[in-house]
């Protein structure tokens, strides 16, 4: 069975997913695309020999479309996810699932009313080989109970349009999801500390930020978000357990010794760092649709990350510890 996919939003990541579904994933085919920019949609469709339809609603209603990929602008996601559930179609939604907690809850209710998981959210780090190995080590118990996580998220630079809240909403959301998944534990409190600002970028931007999270079982997580570190894209994570530690490997490259120095490259961009994870995310998503049972990040994860992200932005502005107010996790989502 081939999974026939319709893509809503043919911008940067939408085009990348269309290429991925066409060139990397077996058992799937892009059968229609759309974008508010009709010319952009047509160019994306022509590249893979498929159709461009006028609107996202046309994609969801199209009888040839079995599953929908939502890669449009964030505030449009909830509407397309809800319409896909109503049509009884699988939907892969890039983050954010919703930009308000209310919309997140509406999605949870609609999916439960349908009676089967249809929604997967694009938290692709769960498909990264390093994070998967780290989770295996934690779950095996070989480092004892986890006590602390030290995380770092650095970008070389960001454009002037990037503002302080985006350090949480666009950047830290990936760590928020991955630590919940690594620990199988929920974040219950959050705080942002504002260190001295770098002079290398914009006056309006609080950069770096130090985010502190606490989980229900008492694990403490510190996350440095520094999006103008100048030297490259650098993701680090170390879990400290009772009897040992486990940390992410650096991306593999050769080490060069010359002129009294010893060094390797630092990636400059997130795309090569997580390219293999994005590929595996789609391979597994399509396989799970073919098996009739989704296994990836759920709409509960999308909702929880949005609520934790909102609480973290609140702390960025107030400087106070903010407790996270999540609804009880429904049994439908393994609660
Ligand atoms: P982008 O390049 O701006 O692409 C979004 C596209 O959707 C644009 O072509 C936009 O058109 C179009 N669009 C906006 N509203 C639409 C609507 N109602 N119906 C159809 N098309 C619509 O943005 P992007 O970087 O690809 O990001 C897209 C989403 O993916 C964002 O939510 C982002 O957070 C997420 N993302 C996730 C990751 C990850 O690591 N998982 C990485 C990158 C992006 P206009 O430009 O004309 O508005």
Domain limits of the chain?
A: 3-121, 126-268+304-333
How far, in Å, from the CA of 252 to the mean position of ligand 1?
30
> Does residue 308 register a pLDDT over 80?
yes
Residues with CB under 6 A from ligand 1: 8-14, 34-37, 40, 56, 71-74, 76, 94-95, 122, 124
The per-residue pLDDT for 297 is 98
Fold of 3-121: Rossmann fold (3.40.50)
How far, in Å, from the CA of 209 to the mean position of ligand 1?
25
How far, in Å, from the CA of 183 to the mean position of ligand 1?
30
CA distances from 184 to 1, 17, 172, 229 (A): 33, 28, 18, 31
> Does residue 50 register a pLDDT over 80?
yes
Fold of 126-268+304-333: Dihydrodipicolinate Reductase; domain 2 (3.30.360)
The per-residue pLDDT for 241 is 98
pTM, rounded to two decimals = 0.95
Whole-angstrom Cα Rg for the chain: 20
Quote the CA–CA distance of 260 and 227 in Å, as a whole number: 31
> Does residue 67 register a pLDDT over 80?
yes
pLDDT per residue as tens digits for the range 179-226: 999 999 999 999 999 999 999 989 999 999 999 999 999 999 999 999
CB 239 within 8 A of CB 143: yes
> Does residue 37 register a pLDDT over 80?
yes
Q: Which atom of ligand 1 is nearest to the CA of 34?
A: 20
Quote the CA–CA distance of 160 and 166 in Å, as a whole number: 12
The per-residue pLDDT for 164 is 97
pLDDT per residue as tens digits for the range 125-169: 999 999 999 999 999 999 999 999 999 999 999 999 999 999 999
CB 163 within 8 A of CB 205: yes
Quote the CA–CA distance of 321 and 323 in Å, as a whole number: 7
> Does residue 335 register a pLDDT over 80?
no
Percent of the chain predicted with pLDDT > 90: 98
Mean pLDDT across the chain, nearest whole number? 97
The per-residue pLDDT for 1 is 86
């Amino acid at each position: 069975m081939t999974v026939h996919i319709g893509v809503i939003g043919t911008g940067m990541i939408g085009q990348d997913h269309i290429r991925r579904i066409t060139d990397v994933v077996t058992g799937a085919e892009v059968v229609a695309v759309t974008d508010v920019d009709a010319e952009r949609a047509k160019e994306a469709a022509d590249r893979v020999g498929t159709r461009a339809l006028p609107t996202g609603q046309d994609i969801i209603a199209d009888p040839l479309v079995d599953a929908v990929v939502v890669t449009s602008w964030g505030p449009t996601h909830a509407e397309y996810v809800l319409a896909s559930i109503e049509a009884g179609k699988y939907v892969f939604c890039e983050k954010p699932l919703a930009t308000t907690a209310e919309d997140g809850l509406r999605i949870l209710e609609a999916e439960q009313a349908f009676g089967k998981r249809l929604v997967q959210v694009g938290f692709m780090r769960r498909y990264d080989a390093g994070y998967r190995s780290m989770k295996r080590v934690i779950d095996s118990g070989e480092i004892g109970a986890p006590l602390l996580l030290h995380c770092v998220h650095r970008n070389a630079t960001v454009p002037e349009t990037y503002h302080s809240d985006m350090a949480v909403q666009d950047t830290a959301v990936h760590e928020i999801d991955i630590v919940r998944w690594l620990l199988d534990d929920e974040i219950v409190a959050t705080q942002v500390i504002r260190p001295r600002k770098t002079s290398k970028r914009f006056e309006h931007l609080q950069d770096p930020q130090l985010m502190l999270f606490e989980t229900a079982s008492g694990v403490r997580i510190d996350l440095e978000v520094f999006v103008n570190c100048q030297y490259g894209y650098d993701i680090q994570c170390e879990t400290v357990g009772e009897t040992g530690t486990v940390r992410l490997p650096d991306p593999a490259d050769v080490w060069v010794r010359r002129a009294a120095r010893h060094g390797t490259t630092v990636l400059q961009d997130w795309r090569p760092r997580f390219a293999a994870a994005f590929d595996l995310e789609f391979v597994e998503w399509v396989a799970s649709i073919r098996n009739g049972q989704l296994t990836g990040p759920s709409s509960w994860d999308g909702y929880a990350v949005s609520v934790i992200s909102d609480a973290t932005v609140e702390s960025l502005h107030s400087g106070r510890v903010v407790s996270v107010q999540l609804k009880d996790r429904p049994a439908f989502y393994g609660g």
